[in-house]
Chain A
Amino acid sequence: MYDVAIIGAGVIGSAIARELSKFNANICVIEKEEDVCNGTSKANSAIIHAGFDATPGSLKAKLNVRGNEMMDSLSKELDIPFTRNGSLVVCTKDQDRNGLVELLEKGAANGVPGLQIIEREELIKMEPNLSDDVTCALFAPTGGIVCPFHMTMAFAENACTNGVSFYLNTKVTDLQKCADGYVIKTLHTDTNTEEIYEAKVVINAAGVYADVLNNMVSSRKLHITARKGEYCLLDKDAGTHVTKTIFQLPSKMGKGVLVSPTVHGNLLVGPTAIDVEDKESLNTTQDGLASLALTSSLSVKNVPMRQVITSFAGLRAHEDGNDFVIGEAPDAKGFVNVAGIESPGLSSAPAIGEMVAGLVKDMLALTEKAEFVGTRKGILNPAALSIEERNALIADCPAYGNIICRCEMISEGEILDAIHRPLGARSLDGVKRRTRAGMGRCQAGFCSPRTMEILERELPLTMYDIGKNGTGSAIVIGKNKEI
Chain B
Amino acid sequence: MMQYDLVIVGGGPAGLAAAVAAKDHGVDSILIIERDKELGGILNQCIHNGFGLHTFKEELTGPEYASRFIDQVLERGIEYKLNTMVMDISADKTVVAMNREDGMIEIKAKAIILAMGCRERSRGALNIPGYRPAGIYSAGTAQRLVNMEGYMPGKEVVILGSGDIGLIMARRMTLEGAKVKVVAELMPYSGGLKRNIVQCLDDFDIPLKLSHTVVDIEGKNRVEAVTIAEVGPDRKPIPGTEIRYTCDTLLLSCGLIPENELSKSAGVALNPITSGPIVGDNLETNIDGIFACGNVLHVHDLVDYVSQEATTAGKNAALYVQNGAAADAKTVEIVPEGGVRYTVPKFIRPTEMEDNLTVRFRVGDVYKNMAIATYYDDELINKRKRPVMAPGEMEQVILSKKKLAEYPDLTKITIRIEEV
Contacts and interface: CB of A to CB of B under 8 A. Distances in A.
Interface of A: 232-233, 280, 282-286, 288-289, 308-312, 387, 390-391, 394-395, 398-399, 401-403, 406-407, 409, 441-446, 448-449, 463, 467-483
B22 to A, nearest CB: 25
A406 B35 contact: yes
Contacts of B99: 401-402
Given A309-B122, A401-B98, A481 B176 contact: yes
Contact of B125 (A309, A399, A448): A309
Contacts of A477: 152-155, 248
B127 A232 contact: yes
Contacts of B137: 445
B133 A443 contact: no
Given A282-B220, A387-B104, A479 B124 contact: no
A482 B101 CA distance: 39
A449 B141 contact: yes
Contact of A398 (B35, B101, B148, B220): B101
A480 B177 contact: yes
Contacts of A283: 129-131, 216-218
A468 B153 CA distance: 12
Contact of B122 (A398, A443, A449, A472): A443
B362 to A, nearest CB: 19
B138 interface: yes
A280 B103 contact: no
18 contacts: A284-B132, A286-B215, A308-B124, A311-B124, A311-B129, A390-B98, A394-B98, A395-B103, A398-B100, A401-B101, A441-B122, A448-B141, A472-B221, A476-B149, A477-B154, A480-B152, A480-B176, A481-B176
Contacts of A233: 124
B325 interface: no
A390 B349 CA distance: 45
B416 interface: no
Interface string B49-76: 0000000000000000000000000000
Nearest to A292: B127
Given A282-B132, A476-B151, A479-B151, A449 B215 contact: no
B243 interface: no
B153 A475 contact: yes
B155 A473 contact: no
A153 to B, nearest CB: 20
A286 B221 contact: no
Contacts of A282: 131-132, 220
Contacts of A309: 122, 124-125
B152 A442 contact: no
B119 interface: yes
Contacts of B100: 394, 398-399, 401-402
B134 A475 contact: yes
B86 to A, nearest CB: 10
B27 to A, nearest CB: 28
Given A473-B221, A473-B222, A478-B151, A443 B123 contact: yes
A480 B104 contact: no
Contacts of B98: 390, 394, 401, 403
B140 interface: yes
B120 interface: yes
B129 A286 contact: yes
B127 A480 contact: no
A483 B138 CA distance: 20
Which of B85, B98, B140, B152: most chain A Cβ within 10 A?
B98
Contacts of B220: 280, 282
Nearest to B229: A286
B83 to A, nearest CB: 6
B178 interface: yes
A384 B149 CA distance: 34
Contacts of B222: 472-474
Which of B125, B138, B216: most chain A Cβ within 10 A?
B125
**A-B interface, 9 closest residue pairs, ranked by CB to CB distance from nearest:** A310-B124, A472-B221, A468-B134, A443-B122, A476-B151, A398-B100, A391-B103, A403-B85, A473-B134
B387 interface: no
Which of A441, A443, A445, A468: most chain B Cβ within 10 A?
A445
Contact of B103 (A232, A394, A444): A394
Interface in B137-181: 137-138, 140-141, 144-146, 148-155, 176-178
Contacts of B151: 463, 476, 478-480
Nearest to A278: B220
B129 A285 contact: yes
Nearest to A287: B129
A288 B125 contact: no
A288 B141 CA distance: 29
B87 interface: yes
A406 B220 CA distance: 28
A401 B103 CA distance: 6
Contacts of B191: none
Contacts of A442: 119-120, 122
B237 interface: yes
B128 to A, nearest CB: 8
Contacts of B132: 282, 284, 312
A359 to B, nearest CB: 35
A467 B220 CA distance: 13
A267 to B, nearest CB: 13
A282 B98 CA distance: 39
Nearest to B252: A445
A402 B83 contact: yes
Contacts of B146: 480
B221 A476 contact: no
Interface in B84-135: 85, 87, 96, 98-104, 106, 119-120, 122-125, 127, 129-134
A351 to B, nearest CB: 31
A443 B104 contact: no
Contacts of A394: 98, 100, 103-104
B152 A476 contact: yes
Contacts of A475: 134, 145, 153
Contacts of B138: 445
Nearest to B216: A283
Contact of B129 (A288, A390, A407, A471): A288
Contacts of A390: 98, 103-104
A284 B214 CA distance: 13
A252 to B, nearest CB: 26
Contacts of B176: 480-481, 483
B125 A308 contact: yes
B221 A471 contact: yes
Contacts of B154: 477
B115 to A, nearest CB: 15
Interface in B254-279: 261
Given A463-B151, A478-B151, A284 B129 contact: yes
Interface in B194-237: 215-218, 220-222, 237
Which of B85, B129, B215: most chain A Cβ within 10 A?
B129
B103 A479 contact: no
Given A311-B124, A445-B119, A473-B133, 4 more contacts: A232-B127, A282-B131, A286-B237, A475-B153
Contacts of B101: 398, 401
Which of B100, B131, B177: most chain A Cβ within 10 A?
B100
Nearest to B153: A476
Contacts of B215: 286
B274 to A, nearest CB: 15
A78 B123 CA distance: 34
A76 to B, nearest CB: 28
Given A469-B134, A479-B152, A449 B103 contact: no
A441 B134 CA distance: 18
B103 to A, nearest CB: 4
Which of B127, B130, B144, B176: most chain A Cβ within 10 A?
B127
